[in-house]
């Protein structure tokens, strides 16, 4: 199997298998191993220039506008992935928890997007039918493959990093106490920093911890590829906000290839 970055090697300081990792650390968690496998992309995503400028109210409207249009295009696929997870979840309690979050995505977040587009002067025709960047297309393809060709655990391997990255940058210790003045920046931070979101991400992690630890070594490696690929695409997604040429030229500062390898 070809790795998500063109190699099957993990960072040299990370044990190659979860079994080795669990023997080497106290209180091992499968998601902690995945996060370490995802370095340096994890740090690149959670400490990205985009998120730092967003929290500091220094992000240019043009960059946030490009980002938000692409993120809204991605939202439909994300909702579908959570819908898959609801269907595949092993218990009614898990189905209910996931369904509750689906309500947040389709209600609270959708309302936020529409108000923000209005404030940023984005035409409805633009955000309803945008030209996808290669990064957005690759991200959507990864989600569709994880949900269509995998099961509950594979879906979690993409959903967990997609949500956990946002929780991490939105609650970073070095973030200023002052909220951005522009509501569309402030509310975007708030949506990913509230206790309810933190609790949900913690629950998602616990689900993947349980499912991943019980998986075979081969499947664990496949889950690590999905997790790492998701984090790489998060970095590319933030990069693309600064690169207007990415919308038409088919390129981005970060690698967007290799989705077909999974």
228 burial (CB, 10 Å; 0-12 / 13-18 / 19+) is buried
**pLDDT at res. 244:** 64
Q: Which is it for the CA torsion 40, 44, 226, 245, positive or negative?
A: negative
pTM for the structure as a whole: 0.88
**Rounded to an integer, what distance in angstroms lies between the CA atom of residue 125 and that of residue 130?**
8
**CATH 3.40.50.620, applies to 40-248:** no
Of 118, 212, 115, 80, nearest to 156 by C-alpha is 212
**CB-hemisphere CA count at 13 Å for 106?**
13
The chain-wide mean pLDDT, for the chain, equals 88
> To the nearest 10°, the Cα dihedral for 87, 90, 94, 98?
-30
What percent of the chain is helix, strand and coil (3-state, nearest 5)?
Answer: 70, 0, 30
Q: What is the mean pLDDT of residues 148-167?
A: 95
pLDDT digits (tens, 9 = 90+) for 64-78: 999 999 999 999 888
**pLDDT at res. 105:** 85
Q: Give residue limits of the domains in the chain.
A: 40-248
pLDDT at 1 over 90: no
């Amino acid at each position: 199997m070809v790795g998500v970055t063109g190699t099957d090697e993990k960072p040299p300081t990370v044990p190659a298998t979860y079994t080795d990792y669990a023997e080497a650390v106290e209180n091992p968690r499968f998601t902690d191993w995945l996060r370490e496998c995802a370095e340096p992309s994890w740090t690149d995503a959670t400490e990205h220039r985009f998120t730092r400028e967003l929290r500091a109210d220094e992000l240019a409207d043009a960059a946030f506008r490009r980002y938000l249009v692409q993120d809204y295009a991605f939202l439909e696929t994300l909702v579908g992935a959570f819908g898959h997870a609801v269907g595949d979840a092993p218990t009614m309690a898990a189905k209910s928890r996931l369904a509750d979050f689906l309500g947040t995505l389709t209600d609270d977040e959708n309302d936020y997007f529409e108000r923000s587009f209005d404030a940023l002067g984005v035409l409805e025709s633009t955000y309803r039918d945008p030209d996808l960047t290669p990064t957005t297309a690759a991200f959507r393809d990864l989600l569709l493959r994880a949900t269509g060709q995998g099961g509950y655990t594979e879906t979690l391997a993409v959903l967990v990093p997609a949500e956990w990255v946002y929780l991490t940058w939105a609650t970073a210790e070095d973030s200023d106490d002052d909220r951005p003045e522009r509501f569309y920046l402030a509310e975007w931070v708030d949506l990913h920093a509230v206790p309810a979101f933190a609790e949900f991400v913690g629950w998602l992690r616990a689900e993947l911890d349980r499912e991943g630890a019980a998986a075979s070594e081969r499947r664990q490696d496949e889950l690590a590829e999905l997790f790492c690929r998701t984090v790489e695409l998060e970095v590319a997604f933030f990069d693309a906000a600064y690169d207007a040429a990415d919308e038409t030229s088919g390129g981005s500062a970060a690698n967007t290839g290799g989705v077909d390898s999974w």
